[in-house]
Each structure stands twice: as C-alpha cells, then as structure tokens.
C-alpha cells in the first residue's frame, strides 16, 4: 500500500472511549520462532491478500510473476496464482492458474480448501478491467469459476469467507482515477445460481474483508484522496454502521470481534476497534511508519511491518514483539488463527527477488506420561490415560483440554473425567485427561507396522491464551493372540 493512495484526515469524535498506551517491546528469541523458506527462485513471489494463509496455518496462497512472455498483446509480464502446504519445501508449490494475463490478489478460505483472486485475462494490458474467480485447492489450471460478470468494470480487492461460500470485492469503473464505487458480495453455495448483494454508500466503497462465517463485511469509504471512515455491515446489505473515530483501511477479524484500522497521524499507525465495547485501541504510537499486515481470527494479535522488520502486537498482554532483525526487507505478514504461524514476503534474504517465508512458533515442551505403559490391543477398557506436566512458568490449569490431540487425530474424550494433581509425586502439578481406548487401538492397527513392539504417542494442545505445547511418550504394544491364532501358528 503506498502513501499516495491515502491522504487521511483524522477527525476523532469525543464521545468514543479511546485507549492509548506505550506497549512493552521485546525481541523474539531464536528458540521461540523458526523461519522457514517456502519459495526459492529468480522470480517475484508476493502475498497480495490479507487472507494468504489458512486458519490452521498449514496452507498458503501467493502470487508469482514469471519471466516475461510473448503473448497476444506483445511482450509482457504477467502473474499466476500458486499454493503450497507449509510442510512443503521450495519447488513443491502447486501452480493454480496459467491464463495469459494477470491473476493477482489471491486469498485462501479459512479451511484452506478454496481460493479467490482477481484476473485481467479477458482484457490483457488494461489494468482497470479485472474479474473475480474462485477455485478449489485440488483444482488445476482451467478449472476456475468466474464469479463476477465480465463487464468493463474493475473488480478487485477480493475477500473470501472461512468456508469459501461467500466472496466480497470492490467494483468500480474502468478508470485509473477511481478504483472502486461499491462492494459486491456473492454467495456461491449454488454455483449455477450465484446470488449477488450490492453495498453502496454515497461515496467510494473499497477494500472489503469478510468475517469467517461470511455474515459480516468491513470496508472503507473514500473519495478523491479523502478517507471518510470505516464501516461494518451484514453481508445481506443491512446494518451498515460507521465505526466512530476510525479513519483508514479496516480489516475484520475472523470471529468478527475486532477491526484493525490503518491510519495516518503524520506517519502510519494502526488501531483496533472492539465491536462489543466500542473501544478504539491505539496499538502503535511512534514517529515511524507501521504498515499493517493482518489480524488473527480471534482479534487479539496484529502483525505489521516497521522499518522492514516483522512485529506482532498482543492486545491481551499489551506486548509488542519484534520477530525479524536483519538487513532484509520483510513485508506483508499474514497470521493464522492463533498467531503461531506467520507467512511473509522477504526481499534480499535470498537474492534480490521477493520470496515467501514462514515464521513458526515452537511449541513449549511438555512432559507426557501415557498410562498404561503397555497397551494390549485385545484387552478391554474405556480409556487411555494421559498426564501432562508443563515447564516452569506455565500452569496446567491454563490448558484448554478441548484442543488436545493424540498424534494429531484423536481428541480428548469430553465425557471422561479430568483432574489436576501430582500423579508422579515430583512436586510438579500435572493434568490428567483421557482418550478413547478403542480409537487409540484402531490408530495403532492402522498406522503402526504389524508386530512393532513400541510406539511413540505425541500429545499436542494449546493453553487458553493460544500458546501451543507438545510432548511424547513411548509405550509397548502387545499383540495378544486368540486360542485359534495360537493353534494356527
């Protein structure tokens, strides 16, 4: 986003409750966060959408500018859309589009199954005439679904709901002087009968972002270099409400509880609006530019760039954390649900071109004890018991048991008893939870090689503040044989 786009007038109303403070600034230590390079090539890769990472942090979508090619309009530079899993390595990305023209601004649904983007494939060389497309993550080039109507209007700035069934974008005339006129919202649940809703305030409506359930949309009103405010509305066109005192570009959190707003008070800062309390929290307040990147699903963490470095701000702890510290230019941080995974663009970290990188927070190491130590696959019983201890500085009472998983597939049995105690008498509190025994036995039968006598079970979970933890324990597997099986052998 360039400064020339916005010349903001800051007019703060006196009846709104404002909160301003000086955040505590810390620098993330190396063991806490790990940087992984996702792309490695000699072309430009960028994150052109607020929603460039899935809610679980496992999948990203990005725009790539391949080498110039010769096409119907002559020799030119064009963009394509790519996706990849965060577990993948450079070179394992999947090309989603290959049409002649610019496919840009790609966003991914919260569930990671659908993407949406703008394309200039019908009017190559005319930057003010784009259309909106969607496609499934499993699709290949040529399987895109066109959502907009192929008029000579500019359709861009796309946002996609968590399930990919609602799409929002800005629509405007094909002129470089006016980028948008109104917000278009499409319900694509029935792809053969797409339903459209238009939200049109008196001035220009731009940059829509959708809540995860697709029921709320946030957008800004703008006219001839003057920002008029940030609005929230229902996606059926009702309930259009201006956020008092919020001037700038707004982005709504996935759960709809917060709106992050980029504004200018002589330099670029951001604030966060609480939709329940009406408070407008001024999160940054300094003499440098803070370029807003994204807000997480729960609305409690914001990521942004300052002086070419990635920062996060936690609204609960009022703590600002610097995550990168190098000579590179790091931009466009995109947060997953809990802020544990951040995709971003880096220039100069691996050559002169822009590449995609991911910051991942290492989970805290928990001590896990699985009971029984030996699991007889033919024995009867209701549960497998797990005891969890956390390192010093953490409290097992803060564990959200509903987030705990055994080997990423089996959740804690909510009907089973839980307790906090000191099972191993080491003066360190532990949390007891239980997993369905039949589900664990079936997992072993499906995933562990036959006759293997030991298996490692890994427990993952999160604390109530979103901090992740994990730990493992190795138990013995007993393949007890029936009488008939023993006679056959």
**Is residue 297 located within the same domain as residue 205?**
yes
C-alpha span between 457 and 404 (Å, rounded): 13
Q: Which residues of 304-318 are buried (b: 16+ CB within 10 A; e: fewer)?
A: bbbebbbbbbbbeee
Does 483 fall in a domain?
Answer: no
Domain end, chosen from 308, 337, 361, is at 361
**Is residue 356 located within the same domain as residue 384?**
no
Does 221 fall in a domain?
Answer: yes
**Is residue 350 located within the same domain as residue 445?**
no
User: What are the tokens at 410?
Assistant: 């089996």
When pLDDT is cut at 50, 70 and 90, the band that residue 5 belongs to is: very low
Range of the domain at 71: 3-361
Beta bridge partners of 107: 116
What is the residue-averaged pLDDT of the chain?
85
- 139, pLDDT greater than 80: yes
62: which residues sit within 8 A by CB, 6+ positions away?
Answer: 39, 45, 46, 47, 48, 52, 81, 82, 83, 106, 356
Average pLDDT of the residues in 195-213:
93
**Is residue 50 located within the same domain as residue 84?**
yes
| Of 311, 284, 281, 286, nearest in space to 299 by CA | 281
Does 317 fall in a domain?
Answer: yes
Handedness of CA 413, 55, 314, 242 (dihedral sign): negative
Q: Give the model's pLDDT for residue 62.
A: 97
**Is residue 372 located within the same domain as residue 348?**
no
- 14, pLDDT greater than 60: no
**Is residue 91 located within the same domain as residue 114?**
yes
When pLDDT is cut at 50, 70 and 90, the band that residue 22 belongs to is: very low
Domain end, chosen from 306, 336, 361, is at 361
Does 487 fall in a domain?
Answer: no
User: What are the tokens at 53?
Assistant: 């990472």
Q: Are 183 and 217 in contact (CB under 8 A)?
A: yes
Does 470 fall in a domain?
Answer: yes
Does 486 fall in a domain?
Answer: no
Query: If you ran DSSP here, which 8-state letter would residue 396 be given?
Result: G
Query: If you ran DSSP here, which 8-state letter would residue 180 be given?
Result: -
When pLDDT is cut at 50, 70 and 90, the band that residue 164 belongs to is: very high
Query: For a pLDDT cut of 70, what percent of the chain falls above it?
Result: 85
Q: Are 89 and 106 in contact (CB under 8 A)?
A: no
Domain end, chosen from 328, 361, 394, is at 361
Does 488 fall in a domain?
Answer: no
Average pLDDT of the residues in 417-425:
94
Relative to beta strand 33-37, strand 374-376 is unpaired
Q: How far apart are the first and last CA of the chain?
A: 72
Which is more confidently placed, 260 or 25?
A: 260
> Within 10 Å of residue 401's Cβ, how many Cβ atoms?
17
| Kind plus residue range of the DSSP H or E element containing 439 | helix 437-447
Q: Give the model's pLDDT for residue 19.
A: 38
CATH number at residue 430: 2.60.40
Does 489 fall in a domain?
Answer: no
Q: Give the model's pLDDT for residue 485.
A: 44
CATH number at residue 323: 2.130.10.10
**Is residue 427 located within the same domain as residue 460?**
yes
C-alpha span between 200 and 414 (Å, rounded): 47
Which is more confidently placed, 81 or 285?
A: 81
**Is residue 343 located within the same domain as residue 399?**
no
**Is residue 353 located within the same domain as residue 369?**
no
Structural domains in the chain (count): 2
C-alpha span between 267 and 170 (Å, rounded): 26
**Is residue 232 located within the same domain as residue 261?**
yes
Give the tens place of pLDDT for each residue, 265-307.
Answer: 788 888 999 999 988 888 888 889 998 889 999 999 999 999 9
**Is residue 417 located within the same domain as residue 350?**
no
User: What are the tokens at 286?
Assistant: 């300094």
424: which residues sit within 8 A by CB, 6+ positions away?
Answer: 369, 387, 430
The helix, strand and coil proportions of the chain, stated in percent and rounded to the nearest 5, come to: 5, 50, 45
Sheet of 301-306: strand order equals: 24-27, 319-322, 309-314, 301-306, 290-295
C-alpha span between 347 and 5 (Å, rounded): 23
280: which residues sit within 8 A by CB, 6+ positions away?
Answer: 16, 17, 18, 19, 243, 244, 245, 246, 261, 271, 272, 273, 274
Instruction: Give phi and psi for 432, each to the nearest 5.
Output: -100, 125
| Of 285, 273, 197, nearest in space to 241 by CA | 273
C-alpha span between 301 and 315 (Å, rounded): 6
Q: Give the model's pLDDT for residue 73.
A: 53
**Is residue 331 located within the same domain as residue 406?**
no
Sheet of 166-172: strand order equals: 154-160, 166-172, 182-187, 195-199
| Of 316, 315, 272, 277, nearest in space to 292 by CA | 272
């Amino acid at each position: 986003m360039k400064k020339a786009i916005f010349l903001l007038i800051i007019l703060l109303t006196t009846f709104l409750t404002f909160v301003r403070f000086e955040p505590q600034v810390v620098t993330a230590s190396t063991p806490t966060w790990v940087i992984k390079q996702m792309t490695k090539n000699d072309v430009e890769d960028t994150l052109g959408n607020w929603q460039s990472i899935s809610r679980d942090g496992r999948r990203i979508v990005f725009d790539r500018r391949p080498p110039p090619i010769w096409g119907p309009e002559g020799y030119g530079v064009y963009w394509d859309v790519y996706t990849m899993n965060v577990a993948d390595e450079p070179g394992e990305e999947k090309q989603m589009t290959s049409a002649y023209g610019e496919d840009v601004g790609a966003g991914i649904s919260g569930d990671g199954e659908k993407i949406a983007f703008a394309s200039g494939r019908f009017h190559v060389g005319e930057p003010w005439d784009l259309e909106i497309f969607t496609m499934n993550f499993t699709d290949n080039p040529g399987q895109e679904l066109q959502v907009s109507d192929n008029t000579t209007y500019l359709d861009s700035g796309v946002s996609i709901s968590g399930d990919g069934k609602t799409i929002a974008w800005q629509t405007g005339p094909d002129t470089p002087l006016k980028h948008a006129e109104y917000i278009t919202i499409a319900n694509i649940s029935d792809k053969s009968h797409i339903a459209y809703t238009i939200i049109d305030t008196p001035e220009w409506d731009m940059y829509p972002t959708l809540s995860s359930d697709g029921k709320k949309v946030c957008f800004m009103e703008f006219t001839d270099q003057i920002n008029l405010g940030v609005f929230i509305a229902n996606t059926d066109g009702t309930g259009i409400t201006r956020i008092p005192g919020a001037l700038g570009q707004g982005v709504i959190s996935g759960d709809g509880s917060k709106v992050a707003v980029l504004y200018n008070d002589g330099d670029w800062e951001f604030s966060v609006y609480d939709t329940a309390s009406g408070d407008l929290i001024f999160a940054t307040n300094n003499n440098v530019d803070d370029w807003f990147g994204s807000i997480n699903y729960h609305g409690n963490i914001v990521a942004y760039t300052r002086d070419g470095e990635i920062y996060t701000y936690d609204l609960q702890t009022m703590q600002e954390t610097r995550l990168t510290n190098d000579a590179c230019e790091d931009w466009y941080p995109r947060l997953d649900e809990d802020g544990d995974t951040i995709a971003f663009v880096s220039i100069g970290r691996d050559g002169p071109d822009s590449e995609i990188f991911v910051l991942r927070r290492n989970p805290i190491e928990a001590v896990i004890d699985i009971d029984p130590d030996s699991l007889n696959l033919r024995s009867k019983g209701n549960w497998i018991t797990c005891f969890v201890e956390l390192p010093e500085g953490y409290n097992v009472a803060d564990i959200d048991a509903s987030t705990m998983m055994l080997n990423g597939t089996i959740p804690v049995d909510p009907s089973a008893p839980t307790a906090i105690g000191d099972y191993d008498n080491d003066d360190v509190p532990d949390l007891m939870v239980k997993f369905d025994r039949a589900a664990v036995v079936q997992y072993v039968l499906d995933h562990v090689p036959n006759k293997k006598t030991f298996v490692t079970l890994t427990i993952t979970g999160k604390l109530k503040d979103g901090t992740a933890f994990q730990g493992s324990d190795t138990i013995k597997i007993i393949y007890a044989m029936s009488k008939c099986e023993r006679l056959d052998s």
